[in-house]
């Protein structure tokens, strides 16, 4: 992480998700007006799920010009309940007018995963407009987990074996995440408060700290340890 944290703190997870959804709508309109398309990478998790439910009811989002990607995926097929793609389909994409050809899923069922990673990197746009991320209770983001090989991976997409989970994942690399025009991190819940404090203070060695110049959408519980502390330079 470089520079002070750009924090947007809201009272509840629902309001945090709503703020991120409004920012999504504004970013989509601006990108389409300026460049003719909006390229966004979605993520899994409970807070993005709340955001999707707000997004599907917001007016004036130019869905026909939205191109959807994913910042990471589990090693499962598109119908698995564990699939980030399926979550986005069920909660958002099936209910808005994004053309199917503009939704690009990671093929988590392909073996070896390195083949899927290479294929996904080849279809990415030159630059993402927004990469949406979360943060796990171990400080991971996308599928960049502590102590895993993808933390040092080159290229745009990596296959990453996660020993703690005994499984492989597909994930954007830091290079791909940090090359986007914007990075948004959604964090809710008191269980994330101490890690956020450490990241803000430059302590620990959490993968999330490798994301540069992000906008953090945080609820009051997750940000409780930040309230009395100025951002670190």
Residue at 132 is within a domain? yes
Distance between CA atoms of residues 223 and 221, nearest Å: 5
Query: Are residues 98 and 62 in contact, defined by beta-carbon separation less than 8 angstroms?
Result: no
Please write the tens of the pLDDT for every residue from 163-175: 999 999 999 999 9
SS3 letters across the chain: CCCCCEEEEECCHHHHHHHHHHHHHHHHHHHHHHHCCEEEEECCCHHHHHHHHHHCCCCCCCHHHEEEEECEEECCCCCCCCCHHHHHHHHCHHHCCCCHHHECCCCCCCCCHHHHHHHHHHHCCCCCCEEEEECCCCCCECCECCCCHHHHCCCCEEEEEECCCCEEEEEECHHHHHHCCEEEEEECCHHHHHHHHHHHHCCCCCHHHHCCCCEEEEECCCCCCCCCCCCCC
Mean pLDDT, the chain, rounded, equals 95
| pLDDT above 90 (res 233) | no
Instruction: Identify the CATH number of the domain in which residue 59 sits.
Output: 3.40.50.1360
Residue at 2 is within a domain? no
Query: Are residues 71 and 42 in contact, defined by beta-carbon separation less than 8 angstroms?
Result: yes
Cβ-based neighbour number of residue 19 at 10 Å: 19
At 227, the pLDDT band (50, 70, 90 cuts) reads low
Say which residue, 143 or 232, is predicted with more confidence.
143
Q: What is the domain extent for residue 34?
A: 12-201
pLDDT score recorded for residue 1: 64
Residue at 4 is within a domain? no
Please write the tens of the pLDDT for every residue from 14-71: 999 999 999 999 999 999 999 999 999 999 888 899 999 999 999 999 999 999 999 9
Please write the tens of the pLDDT for every residue from 77-117: 999 999 999 999 999 999 999 999 999 999 999 999 999 99
Residue at 105 is within a domain? yes
Residue at 169 is within a domain? yes
Distance between CA atoms of residues 57 and 55, nearest Å: 5
Cβ neighbours of residue 231 closer than 8 Å, sequence gap 6 or more: 4, 5, 7, 200
Cβ-based neighbour number of residue 213 at 10 Å: 13
pTM of structure = 0.95
Residue at 59 is within a domain? yes
84-91 vs 46-55: helix axis angle to the nearest 10? 30
Residue at 165 is within a domain? yes
The total number of structural domains that make up the chain: 1
Q: What does the pLDDT average to over 172-194?
A: 97
Strand-strand pairing, 38-42 and 66-70: parallel
Residue at 162 is within a domain? yes
């Amino acid at each position: 992480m470089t520079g002070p944290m750009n924090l947007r703190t809201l009272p509840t997870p629902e309001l945090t998700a709503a703020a991120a959804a409004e920012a999504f709508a504004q970013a989509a309109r601006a990108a389409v007006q300026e460049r003719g398309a909006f390229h966004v990478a979605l993520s899994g998790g409970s807070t993005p799920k709340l955001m999707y439910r707000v997004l599907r009811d917001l007016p004036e989002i130019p869905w026909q010009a939205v191109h959807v990607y994913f910042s990471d995926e589990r090693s499962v097929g598109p119908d698995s309940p564990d699939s980030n793609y399926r979550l986005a389909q069920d909660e958002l994409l099936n209910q808005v007018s994004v053309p199917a050809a503009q939704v690009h899923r990671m093929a988590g069922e392909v073996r070896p995963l390195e083949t899927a990673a290479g294929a996904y990197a080849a279809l990415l746009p030159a630059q993402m407009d927004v990469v949406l991320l979360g943060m796990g209770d171990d400080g991971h983001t996308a599928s960049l987990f502590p102590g895993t090989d993808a933390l040092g991976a080159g290229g745009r997409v990596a296959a990453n074996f996660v020993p703690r989970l005994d499984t492989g994942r597909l994930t954007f690399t830091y290079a791909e995440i940090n090359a986007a025009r914007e990075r948004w991190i959604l964090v809710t819940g008191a269980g994330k408060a101490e890690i956020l404090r450490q990241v803000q203070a430059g302590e620990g060695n959490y993968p999330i700290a490798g994301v540069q110049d992000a906008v953090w959408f945080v609820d009051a519980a997750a940000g409780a340890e930040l309230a009395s502390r100025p951002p670190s330079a």
